[in-house]
């Protein structure tokens, strides 16, 4: 696809150019002569616990948490302030004070993360790049989702976007590149990183600025025929897409020849692009913890479960995940206050129970867990799951088990992770998985680059 097509890309919703558009941008970045990077960057907003939020506040008066997930103050109503008005005020002030500085030239950024795979001693590196990505309706079949979204998080992110006119974290996007041609363009001959920081999970993040127009144009051409899957950031993507439609000009002018650029600032959002065939792409399971059930009866639950699963009692142990990974076919470990059980699916009863689901979803362990265990056996229908009335999601299996043993939950259901192939098949088919189906590790740091719309 020629660069002239990229340069004249139309706004969101257009059917004219069905391609993945990427663009360099004049990023705002923390001034490393004014702050230390590890004092100011954060995990994505939806991965910041209350204790992490407090810790970030204490690290620096310029920590990004004050913008992306600010603390409410008792006097907000009286002063007619909010976390959003303070975010806008801080973002403006930090730019004026030189805490944040803007790149002189449009750039993209090679972004590598070196990490130890949780629960192992295996070291991996995930490579990608940060750039602006064009916003597209899912119906255009350029950007594909794999999870449902909720209205509350989208409303929160929209309020922040309206107040600050900026994007502070990247949408995590996957693309297919079996030959790794994009990585070769970016990383062959890469020297010392322009910035690096190690996060609270021991992940080393490194960033290289790329401002050479020839390299940027080669990268843009290499990405032009790609289809994209949202790995993380569904809520922020849909928020940015709706915001872009609200701000679309009546007439979009073609850009001048040279570097590709969005048709208008709101037509793109900051993304990190990663090759879905990369060895450094790790998906962890997200376990389900069920709590506050009315009259949870373990005996009744196991009797009902035996219609669909072979139920085997397990000894008290810390190796439930090891037991689970050895199983052939779909299986879960259910941990209750009275003991732990291995649930292995019976093919015929399960097939009948899942007959209402699209074909590709019937192959997912989490479809078994949500449709049969949570809904049929425990009475947690789709609405209760959406509202998280009786459900918590945890990455750490030991923490999930401990909540049960401490009496803070009725049961924990430990599951194997979704595979990259399953995710790809479901997304490209236009289907969606249950919420919190995937947990990509590590997360992309927020604050490495910032995209201001004005």
Please write the tens of the pLDDT for every residue from 267-310: 999 999 999 999 999 999 999 999 999 889 999 999 999 999 99
11 — pLDDT class (breaks 50, 70, 90): very low
Residue 80 confidence class, pLDDT cut points 50, 70, 90 = confident
pLDDT in tens, 56-69: 999 999 999 999 99
Q: What is the pLDDT of residue 395?
A: 87
pLDDT mean across residues, the chain? 91
Asked if 433 and 274 count as a contact pair (C-beta separation under 8 A), the reply is: no
Query: What CATH architecture is 286-416?
Result: 2-Layer Sandwich (3.30)
Name residue, tokens 């790149």: 103
- For every residue of the chain, which 3-state class applies, written as one string? CCHHHHHCCCCCCCCCCCCCCEECECCEEECCCCCCHHHHCECCHHHCCHHHHHHHHHHCCCCCHHHHCCCCCCCHHHHCCCHHHHHHHHHHHHHHHCCEEECCCCEEEEEEEEEECCCCCCEEEEEEEEEEEECCCHHHCCEECCECCCHHHHHHHHHHHHHHCEECCCEEEEECCCCCHHHHHHHCCCCCCCEEEECCCCCEEEEEEECCHHHHHHHHHHHCCCCEEEEECHHHHHHHHHHHHHCCCCCCCCCCCCCCCCCCHHHEEEEEEEECCCCCCEEECCEEEECCCCCCCHHHHHHHHCCCEEEEEECCCCCHHHHHHCCCCCEEEEEECCEEEEEEECHHHHHHHCCCCCHHHHHCHHHHHHHHHHHHHCCCCHHHHHHCCCEEEECCHHHHHHHHHCCCCCEEEECCCCCHHHHHHHHHCCCCECCCCCEEECCCCECCCEEECC
* Rounded Cα–Cα distance for residues 429 and 419 (Å): 16
Q: How far apart are CA 182 and CA 184, in angstroms?
A: 5
Rounded CA separation 27/24 (Å): 9
Q: How far is CA 241 from CA 160, 234, 413, 431, in A?
A: 14, 11, 35, 19
Question: What pLDDT is attached to residue 13?
Answer: 44
Question: For position 384, what pLDDT does the model report?
Answer: 84
Q: 71-75, 207-211, 256-260, 433-437 — which one is most confidently predicted on average?
A: 207-211
| Bridge partner list, 171 | 271
User: What's residue 6's pLDDT?
Assistant: 36
Residue spans of the domains in the chain: they are: 3-29+103-282+442-452, 286-416
Query: What is the mean predicted confidence (pLDDT) over 387-409?
Result: 91
- Report yes or no: 283 and 439 within 8 Å, Cβ to Cβ: yes
Q: Say whether pLDDT at 12 is over 80.
A: no
Q: Which of 248, 367, 348 is nearest to 9 (CA)?
A: 248
pLDDT above 90 (res 361): no
Q: Which tokens go with 258?
A: 């040279």
Closest by CA to 168, choosing from 94, 105, 224, is 94
Q: List, in sequence order, every residue forming a beta bridge with 345; answer none if it has no partner.
A: 309
pLDDT value at position 4?
29
Helix pair angle (151-164, 234-246), 10° resolution: 50
Average pLDDT over residues 367-388: 89
pLDDT average, residue stretch 72-83: 83
Question: Per residue in 225-268, pLDDT tens?
Answer: 999 999 999 999 999 999 999 999 987 776 656 899 999 999 99
Given a cut of 50, whether residue 197 has pLDDT beyond it is yes
144-178 confidence digits (pLDDT tens): 999 888 778 899 999 999 999 999 999 999 999 99
Give the Cα separation of 365 and 224 in Å (integer). 34
Q: Are 201 and 47 in contact (CB under 8 A)?
A: no
Q: Kindly tell me if the per-residue pLDDT of 17 is higher than 80.
A: no
How far apart are the two ends of the chain, measured CA to CA in Å? Answer: 30
Give CA 241 to chain center in angstroms. Answer: 16
- Residue range 367-380: average pLDDT? 93
> Per the confidence metrics, is the pTM higher than 0.75?
yes
């Amino acid at each position: 696809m020629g660069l002239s097509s990229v340069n004249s890309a139309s706004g969101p919703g257009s059917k004219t150019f069905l391609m993945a558009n990427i663009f360099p941008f004049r990023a705002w970045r923390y001034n490393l002569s004014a702050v230390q990077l590890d004092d100011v960057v954060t995990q994505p907003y939806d991965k910041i616990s209350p204790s992490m939020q407090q810790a970030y506040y204490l690290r620096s008066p310029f920590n990004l948490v004050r913008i992306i997930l600010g603390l409410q103050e008792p006097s907000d109503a009286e002063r007619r302030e909010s976390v959003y008005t303070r975010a806008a005020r801080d973002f403006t002030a930090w730019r004026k004070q030189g805490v944040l500085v803007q790149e002189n030239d449009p750039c993209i950024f090679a972004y590598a993360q070196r990490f130890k795979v949780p629960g192992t001693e295996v070291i991996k590196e995930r490579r990608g790049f940060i750039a602006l990505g064009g916003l597209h309706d899912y119906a255009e079949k350029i950007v594909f989702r794999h999870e449902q979204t909720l209205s509350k998080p989208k409303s929160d992110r929209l309020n922040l976007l309206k107040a600050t006119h900026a994007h502070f974290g990247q949408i995590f996007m996957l693309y297919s590149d079996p030959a790794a041609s994009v990585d070769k363009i970016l990383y062959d001959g890469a020297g010392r990183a322009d910035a690096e920081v190690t996060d609270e999970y021991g992940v080393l993040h490194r960033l290289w600025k790329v401002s050479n127009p020839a390299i940027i144009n080669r990268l843009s051409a290499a990405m032009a025929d790609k289809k994209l899957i949202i790995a993380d950031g569904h809520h922020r993507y849909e928020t940015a897409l709706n915001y872009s439609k609200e701000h679309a000009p009546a007439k979009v002018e073609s850009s001048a020849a040279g570097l590709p650029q969005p048709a208008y600032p709101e037509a793109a959002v900051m993304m990190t692009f990663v090759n879905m065939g990369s060895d450094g792409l790790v998906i962890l399971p997200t376990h389900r913890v069920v709590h506050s059930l009315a009259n949870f009866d373990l005996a009744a639950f196991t009797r009902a479960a035996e219609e669909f699963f072979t139920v085997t009692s397990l000894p008290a142990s810390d190796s439930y995940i090891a037991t689970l990974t050895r199983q052939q076919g779909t299986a879960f470990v259910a941990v209750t206050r009275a003991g732990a059980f291995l649930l292995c699916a019976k093919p015929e009863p399960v097939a009948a129970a899942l007959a209402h689901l699209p074909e590709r979803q019937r192959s997912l362990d989490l479809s078994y867990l949500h449709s049969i265990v949570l809904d049929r056996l425990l009475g947690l229908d789709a609405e209760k799951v959406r509202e998280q009335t009786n459900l918590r999601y945890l990455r750490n299996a030991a923490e999930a088990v401990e909540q049960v043993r401490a009496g803070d939950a009725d049961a924990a259901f430990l599951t194997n992770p979704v595979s990259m192939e399953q995710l790809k098949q479901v997304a490209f088919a236009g289907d969606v998985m249950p919420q919190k189906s995937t947990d990509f590790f590590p997360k992309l740091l927020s604050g490495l680059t910032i995209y201001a719309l004005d």
